[in-house]
Structure 1
Amino acid sequence: MEIKNLSNESLLHHMKYVLSVLEDLYDDLKYTEEDKLIMKICCLCHDLGKINSKTQNGVHNLENLNRNCDEDVIRHNVLSGTYLKMILEKMDLSYTEIEYIYKVLMLHHGKYEDYVEISTTKVQEYIYNFIELGIFNEGKYNLSSIEEYISYILKIDFSFEAEKLDYDYMENLKEGFSLRNLKEYDYDIDKSMEDRRLKYILYKGLLNLIDDYSNAKYMKLELYEEVAVPIKRGEKRFVIIPNKVSAEGLYSYYILNNTSKIGLLQGDTNISVAEELYSCTDFKVSLRNMNISENLMRNYIISTVDQLLLIMFKTQGYEEILVAIEGTNIEIDYANLLEPKIFNLLIYFMQFSVEYLRVNFNIRSAILPESYKERLLDLKLSLGEKEKFIQVHEEYIEKTEFSKESEVKVLYNKEFWKVLRENLKDNKRTLIIKNSIEDINKLYGELKKSYPYADIRILHGRFKLEDKKSKYEELINSQGDIWICTQSFEVKSEFEDVISDFCSIEDMVYRFNRVKKNNFQVFYIFQDKEKKYDKKLELISKNILKRFIKNNNLLFLERELLQLFYSNEDTVKYIKDEFNMGDRDIKSTYGINLYEFTGKDLLLRFDPYKNIVSNSKQRAKVFKGINISYKIVLEEDYKRNFSFLESKSIQLSKEVYNKMKYLGLIITKEGYCLLKKSSKYRYSMDQGLILV
């Protein structure tokens, strides 16, 4: 009987797939021959632990086993250690190299904390019952093809032997990185340990990326779908945008313009579900992991900033993303829209990425607050000659000529309805930008009631991705009399008037900039007299706008508006306070007592597999107030096809996600968060997901 990887794929086939992907990346990876050999061994041996009768009976459907991890199942990655000694003893490897291989293989799924608690006795009983007796004594499984392939690739004479099964390998997992072989290094112990930890991160991340991508490739080929081709690092580009800007909106815009091979990361990992994405299953590969890996292999990747910054807290799978960004170009757009806490964390991320991963950063912004510039200057000084890897451009406001009729006005409650009524009468199209989805739905209901024959359409984050694309097509074709949107508006569509809710100066300038391409006549700033603008930044913005609003050239003074906003003493104090609070939260999360710390301290100060941050309450402090989204799929839309699921995905805000979870409506399946059927919400293509 053939040894299986999954129910429809042999283990040998998967080994060949994984190695072929590694070969595709060889020319691109800046690793030594020693590194390549270690990765070749890891790719060959990472799933050998599936050669046990319990797993094989599961994938051959010979037993009705629980597909998810339970107390009786020891995962294949842990069991792979059983076979390593009989292979590695035939090779000329140092103790350090062997240490890398054991730790990478045994930890390439799941969490260290889960495995270190497994008793050696339990592992030994498992080996005896399900490997020695279940595989070798039974003699019904064909191991010869795997033996021949390992021998051929590693150029050794290898065969599986029952008497050479290693019953005592668990010590390789439970020990930290050893201080042996330090004579190989010319520098101090701390530096050598940092180097070892970095090597482990890159080895494990590369194995995870290749493994998940190989499974994704196999699934897509079975479905006759296009497969993303791995791209050379120097040609790969990440475009990072603030969370208040829609990555899906930008993605849809490029897709509609026939730009192919674009990856998307938004709501894929977050502080509450990161561990669930890497849920423990030994019989199926997580669809979400496959989806993330395929996106990471694309040559142009659009991502919200939180998706990368979460790696600074060592969430599950952080190694894979670090490998994906190694040697790439990262463009950070609208950097001034990043909240101070996020910008502060971004500094540590850039510090580590430039120093250890050779990442090039291009920061683009209309204008940056002085505190942001100071942090960037300090960062560049700390990098020495590598400061050239960070470029800052502060002219990111599109130069657009307006007609002389274009102007800005303040609009109040009664005038709002008058403008809409007259525009509908004169067949003028109107774009309304609201600050929240709840405000959009409320206004949509009021407008449908007041103007039942008008063509009123809405666009916001809580639509399925496939429906968002349809909405963008409608916008491009100038359909609809009135559109009500959040500021995720990304395409050119002709509107005579634009009405925006009052918001902070930086958000208002962003909205000016996004609608410049649409030749509007009037940009109205709607101020609700019944609403209290009690947030500090809103009050500052209100006072500044009040001084400028009489000037019809406001559209030409965006930089001046931002300069006034960022130079305001209350704004300056707010940013510095947020920086300090961000550092305190990071120190509290990591237990760091240093007065000053760097990105290296966060990722390399401790053994990388031991210090995966699991305290979501601590991490939540750093992301408090940040518009983080959570990707979900309606339960009735679930299908075992990650491309299909991507088209059906919906972005929920943190507040809505937490509410659904509190109500018991969120379940996880193969890494995806599914929203159960309920009377608590409804979904339609007209309004998206609405809470009832």
Structure 2
Amino acid sequence: MGKYDYILAKSEEQCGQTLSSHLKDVAEVAVRIAQYLHLDVETARLGALLHDVGKASPHFQKTLQKGYTRRPGEVFRHEIASLFFISLVEESKRDAVIEMIAAHHKSAYKDGLELGIIDMDDTDDCFAIHSKDFDKWSSIVTGLLEEMGMTIHPVSLEEAKENYDYALDYCCNAIRRCCYSAWRGLLMAADHYASALNEKVGANIDKLFINPDLKFYERQSELYPLSSIDTKDRRPHTIVTAPTGAGKTDFLVRRCRGRLFYTLPFQASINAMYERFRKDLSGTDAQIYLLHSASTLKVEDGNLEESILQRHIGASIKVLTPHQMASIAFGIKGYEAMILDLKGQDVILDEIHTYSGATQAIVLKIIEVLANIGCRIHVGTATMPTLLYNRIKNLLGGDKNVYEVSLPDDTLGTFNRHIINKVESFASCTSIIDEAIRENQKILIVCNQVQRSQNLYCELKERYPMVKGMLLHSRFKRGDRNELETRLKEEFNTIAEACIVVSTQVVEVSLDISFDLMITECAPIDAMIQRFGRINRKRTKETIGRYKPVYVLAPLADKDALPYDEDVLKHSYEVLPDGEVMRETEVQQMIDTVYPDTHFMDIDYSGTIFIDGRWTLSKLCHRDKAAFLGLLDIQSATCVTESDVETYKHGTHKEASLCEIPCSYHSIAHRNLERIDKRQHPFVVPNMAYTEDMGLLMDNISPVNYNSFEII
């Protein structure tokens, strides 16, 4: 037991960790990060040891007591109080330490709650508030720091005021510069890592920043033509254009030299890629993380540390969506830490053609930022409009910086595998389904809207009660969704009997399934080609030259066309062959016919923090996440059912995650639902608005359908 172990860093309701233990843990991680980034190790250590010492104030310690309720208007920012001791750091390191301490929770200026150091100095006697009873606790801080190996001297109230004034002046000058602070990012990364692992940092720190051994992907096969193409070109960036099944993933990975960030557009696809990496590299020491809300559900052995590590710095391979990388373009809290994690590493942007609208514009901005911070960027696509291709190539520096790879026409011809048939409506497909069932075929039906997929699934379930069936879309509880994806790949994909899977766009990318027949609503041509890749996907010597049928329904109009543009659907339908083989050599022409003047959404790039090659956000500041979420109608809200409320409020992180149902904020925010003021602040939906086989039923979401009057 240490002399100061009665001083806590966290409340007993959290974990009751001592301040001494927390500071040591953060310092250990900060030193490891600094070593990796070639930053001054001693500065990192000192900043980490000092960053939370203001918590020693009795006015902060009382807030950690069980049952404590903060009085209205009561504010104590422990990081401001920590700045009172910066004179314990040698002068040459002092400014960097201020950057580590002053804004590691709040923006220094124009914080959303006006709790930044500059905000508070403008409105109150900030120093007086935070130095209250300083003579009673300053010696605790210096004693604690001495225990941890720092050279100290007593700090008087007058010296504390000088330190505060110096730090405030430094922050006021810092925000006049537009750039990111590597020191702030380092401290935030170290603090988050240590806080999540509590006292288990030592056992896990050696897992940080391990370059993955990627020799596995050097395998060659005549079935995968990209496997025989050399990847040793010295240009840093890559663009590969090849059909599904050509070995694109292996080729992109072989182009990587450092740690790897692998992005894909959908949860289902990143889940599948995460599992693939874990399987392929199971015999190595590579640390593979999945950055997603559902990542804890993918840790099969129940290892708590591994679940926690998914969210933090230092992975060998991190699998994520571009939305989870968007903080580097929008300056969302923690963006500096993500920049440090990414800087100089390999980033694979796979299936980049699947992005549209605002997402496509954001991906282009992310590419611009990644190139600026020295990342090696590798783009993979099966289909991309020429104008988009050229835009990306230019962002990466053109011919001198980009290694371009595509397959010759004779090789592309071996990837012809679908006969496309245009049909007016789903009703005209009844006999086709009947025949496929008699022949024990696996049928995949894809809708563009969740509600239509639900309605169709019900109809088919009633018509074919003896046929194995499944519905898959984005609005399932995370636990149910995880189970459905596993069943799709391991059960439905392998059975010899007939089955019907109804899905939405979530099956388009990287789900390794190979069905016999598809019926799909018309989608943009690039998205449809991706969908077709789930049919006759398995490539063997025997399957080359054999074709399986795809039936494309005539495009819908008005609101039924959403989430796609009606004109794009019409043009996509027009360019498809009818009753003929879909030829890979003609795909590019089809794409460019549909998108002759690919227009990038008129996005307000002033909302981003990197414009015309310059950073535009004030140093030591960040922006509200809502600004980014407001730009995209992504699955930005979370729901839980009435029956899951108690589990969500009081269960473990994993138990709560299992309950969460992702949905669009715009589809649910106006329904006057109760919300839980914890974790993701989910909306509470009635029990009758969810079933395990149908998912979230939007028509039943209304407060009048609650079983209980008292939800929260």
TM class by shorter-chain length? 0.7 to 0.9
The code of the aligned residue for 2:620 comes to Y
> What SS does structure 2 have at the residue aligned with 1:330?
strand
Equivalent residue of 1:331, what SS? strand
Residue 302 of structure 1: aligned partner: 319
Q: SS state of the match for residue 73, structure 1?
A: coil
Q: Structure 2 stretches of 5 or more lacking a match?
A: 212-256, 296-303, 493-497, 701-712
Q: 2:533 aligns to what?
A: 513
1:337 aligns with 2:368: no
Q: Report matched runs for 1:631-646 at 5 Å.
A: 635-638=645-648, 639=650, 641-646=652-657
Mapped to 1, the partners of 2:315 and 2:670 lie a distance apart of: 32
- Structure 1 counterpart of 2:36, which letter? D
- Between the aligned partners of 1:251 and 1:148, the Cα distance in structure 2 is 43
For the 8 Å contact 2:263–2:349, the answer to whether it is kept is yes
Tell whether the 8 Å contact from 2:174 to 2:618 is kept in structure 1 after alignment.
Answer: no
Report if aligned partners of 1:212, 1:293 keep a CA contact under 8 Å in 2: no
Secondary structure, counterpart of 1:129 in structure 2: coil
- Pick from 144, 160, 163: which aligns with 1:165? 160
The residue correspondences of 1:346-385 to structure 2 (distance < 5 A) are 346-355=363-372, 357-381=373-397
In the alignment, what sits opposite 1:437?
Answer: 450
- Are the equivalent residues in 1 in contact too, given 2:54–2:82 (CA < 8 A)? yes
1:634-666 deviation digits (Å, cap 9, x = unpaired)? 63442564455445444323433xx14652444
Q: Which amino acid aligns with 1:549?
A: P
Q: CA deviation at 1:399?
A: 6.7
Q: Distance in 1 between matches of 2:198 and 2:74?
A: 30
Q: CA-to-partner distance for each residue in 1:134-153, whole Å, 9 max, x for gaps?
A: x36xx9x69634322142xx
Contact kept, 8 Å, 2:447 with 2:521, in 1: the verdict is yes
CA distance in 2, matches of 1:214, 1:101: 18
Q: Name the structure 1 match of 2:341.
A: 324
Q: CA deviation at 1:361?
A: 0.4
Q: 1:364 to 1:396 in 2, by over 3 A?
A: farther
> Where do 1:282-681 residues align within 5 Å?
294-339=311-356, 341-355=358-372, 357-381=373-397, 388=401, 391-393=403-405, 407-411=419-423, 412-479=425-492, 481-489=499-507, 490-493=510-513, 495-518=515-538, 522-527=548-553, 538-543=566-571, 545-554=573-582, 556-557=583-584, 560-568=586-594, 571-573=595-597, 575-576=598-599, 578=600, 581-582=602-603, 585-587=604-606, 589=607, 598=611, 600-601=613-614, 604-610=615-621, 612-614=622-624, 616=626, 619=628, 623-624=631-632, 627=634, 629-630=636-637, 635-638=645-648, 639=650, 641-656=652-667, 659-660=668-669, 662-670=671-679, 672-676=680-684, 678=686, 681=689
Shift of 1:373: 3.1
Q: Which residue of 2 aligns with 1:263?
A: 289
The share of aligned pairs that are identical, in percent, is 17
Secondary structure, in 3 states, of the residue corresponding to 2:549?
strand
The separation in 2 between residues aligned to 1:203 and 1:168, in whole angstroms, is 19
| 1:231 match | 209
Matching residue within 98, 120, 138 for 1:102: 98
Offset from partner CA, 1:489-525 (integer Å, 9 cap, x none): 3444453322222111000111122434257964333
SS in structure 2 at match of 1:477: helix
- Cα separation, 2, equivalents of 1:598 and 1:142: 43
In 1, Cα distance between equivalents of 2:371 and 2:416? 44
Asked if the contact 1:237–1:331 (Cα under 8 Å) also holds between the matched residues in 2, the reply is yes
Asked whether the equivalents of residues 260 and 316 of structure 2 are also in contact (C-alpha less than 8 Å), the reply is yes
- CA shift, 1:262, in A, is 3.1
Q: Decide which of 181, 197, 218 is 1:217's aligned counterpart.
A: 197
CA contact (8 A) 1:79 1:106 kept: no
Shift of 1:44: 1.0
TM-score with structure 2 length normalisation? Answer: 0.74
Deviations 1:518-537 (A, max 9, x none): 57964333425875676885
User: Matched residue of 1:525: which SS?
Assistant: strand
Q: Which residue of 2 aligns with 1:52?
A: 57
Q: 1:204 to 1:52 in 2, by over 3 A?
A: same
Deviations 1:390-449 (CA, angstroms, capped at 9, x unpaired): 555456999796798x53222333222233333334433312122122122111222233
Alignment-mate amino acid for residue 663 of structure 1: N
Q: Which residue of 1 aligns with 2:68?
A: 65
2-structure distance, mates of 1:324, 1:242: 20
Per the normalisation by structure 1, the TM-score is: 0.76
CA distance in 2, matches of 1:675, 1:665: 6
Contact kept, 8 Å, 1:349 with 1:599, in 2: the verdict is no
Q: 2:44 is aligned with what amino acid?
A: M
CA gap 1:174/1:506 in 2 versus in 1, 3 angstroms: farther
Letter of the 2:99 counterpart: K
Confirm or deny that 1:4 pairs with 2:12: no
Q: Once the two structures are superposed, what CA deviation does each residue of 1:184-211 show, in whole Å capped at 9, x if it has no partner? A: xxxxxx9xx56xx34x2x1111111111
Instruction: Pick closer, same or farther for the CA change 1:306–1:493 going to 2, 3 Å.
Output: closer
Amino acid in the other structure paired with 1:104: M
1:530–1:46 CA distance, 2 compared to 1 (3 A): closer
Equivalent residues of 1:502, 1:525 under 8 A apart? no
Asked if the contact 2:453–2:471 (Cα under 8 Å) also holds between the matched residues in 1, the reply is yes
In the superposition, relative to structure 1, how do residues 229 and 179 fare at CA in structure 2: closer, same or farther (>3 Å)? Answer: closer
How many Å apart are 1:109 and its aligned residue? 0.3
The Cα offsets for residues 461-487 of structure 1, whole Å up to 9 and x where unpaired, read as 222333333223322333472111223
User: Residue 280 of structure 1 corresponds to which residue in structure 2?
Assistant: none
Give CA-to-partner distance per residue, 1:588-611, whole Å, 9 cap, x none: x47x9xxxx83543xx2342334x
Amino acid at match of 2:62: N
**Among residues 237, 241, 245, which one is paired with 2:264 in the alignment?**
241
Match of 1:272 in 2: none
Letter in 2 for 1:651: P
